[in-house]
A and B are shown apart, each in its own frame.
Chain A
């Protein structure tokens, strides 16, 4: 059952807030993915590369937050038919993130198109894209 009965073009999707990205979970994901890139778990490497002093979150994690926001709104992430995104900046451990979106079109078949985004502190974009979600 969809949580949304009657969306309109221009509606803002309810935002999802991640209060602080967890460095420990980056380590778990690195192990799950077999991701050998040390920027996700070795602060010394991040410093040597001049990228700051916190581990860098995996890009798929950032996309996962946006999918969670869509799933909360639409009544389940399986309702996401398509999502196309660009990763425009890094997310670091400790960052506060907000995921959100705006309804841009409504189809006759029960699908809804939205612009979606993920932003540090709700203002600095780190991911941007478009999605089609089924509310039928």
Chain B
């Protein structure tokens, strides 16, 4: 286990806003859809439409960096005890089984907070777009991580 990461300055934290992720692609593979439906108890559909959780899976698997790399980018590591904040999924068009989507996104906000019990913590939010082969955005996924900071 590594030691906790040094708390960034406010300037360092705020400089994260607007940072673009490398991006990438995600293929909605039929075998993955079948197993996912089985895990979460969703029906196995025959109309080619993937479960809306694939908006989330595509975004998180395709934005071009790992979660550990995301923590590093935010001046943190898994050992700092980061927590998942909110998750917002917009489904403009259901994802289609067998299609390959392009994922792009950026950090949209980074703010420092002070809690009475929790002490200092930072909230970093990021937004990811899942783009269909025809160029239309099928889904927008917005997530945030909460990073406890040493005072």
Q: Is A123 an interface residue (CB 8 A)?
A: no
Among A33, A78, A84, residue most surrounded by chain B Cβ atoms (within 10 Å)? A78
Q: Taking the nearest CB of chain A, how far is it from the CB of B143, in angstroms?
A: 11
- A76→B91 CA distance, assembly (Å): 13
- Chain A interface residue count, CB cutoff 8 Å, equals 27
Q: Is A8 an interface residue (CB 8 A)?
A: no
Residue of B nearest to A132 (CB): B90
Stretch of B4-12, B34-42, B113-121 contacting A (4+ beta carbons < 8 Å): B34-42
Chain A residues, CB < 8 A from B53: 60, 63-64, 67
A80-B91 contact in complex given A60-B57, A67-B51, A68-B40, C-beta closer than 8 Å: yes
Please determine whether A60 and B88 come into contact, CB atoms closer than 8 angstroms: no
Chain A residues, CB < 8 A from B88: 82-85
Please determine whether A82 and B87 come into contact, CB atoms closer than 8 angstroms: no
B interface, over-half SS: mixed
- A76→B94 CA distance, assembly (Å): 11
Q: Is A65 an interface residue (CB 8 A)?
A: yes
Chain A residues, CB < 8 A from B57: 33, 60
Please determine whether A85 and B91 come into contact, CB atoms closer than 8 angstroms: no
Counted as pairs of residues, one from A and one from B, with CB atoms less than 8 Å apart, the total is 75
Residue among A29, A78, A86, A87 making CB contact with B94, cutoff 8 Å:
A78
- A46→B57 CA distance, assembly (Å): 25
Q: Taking the nearest CB of chain A, how far is it from the CB of B109, in angstroms?
A: 15
Name 10 A/B residue pairs within 8 A (Cβ), A-sorted. A60-B57, A63-B56, A67-B51, A67-B52, A67-B53, A68-B42, A71-B42, A78-B94, A81-B92, A84-B87
Q: Is A106 an interface residue (CB 8 A)?
A: no
Please determine whether A86 and B52 come into contact, CB atoms closer than 8 angstroms: no
- A131→B51 CA distance, assembly (Å): 16
Residue among B41, B61, B84, B90 making CB contact with A87, cutoff 8 Å:
B84
Q: Taking the nearest CB of chain B, how far is it from the CB of A85, in angstroms?
A: 5
Chain A residues, CB < 8 A from B36: 29, 32, 64
Please determine whether B32 and A32 come into contact, CB atoms closer than 8 angstroms: yes
Q: Is B89 an interface residue (CB 8 A)?
A: yes
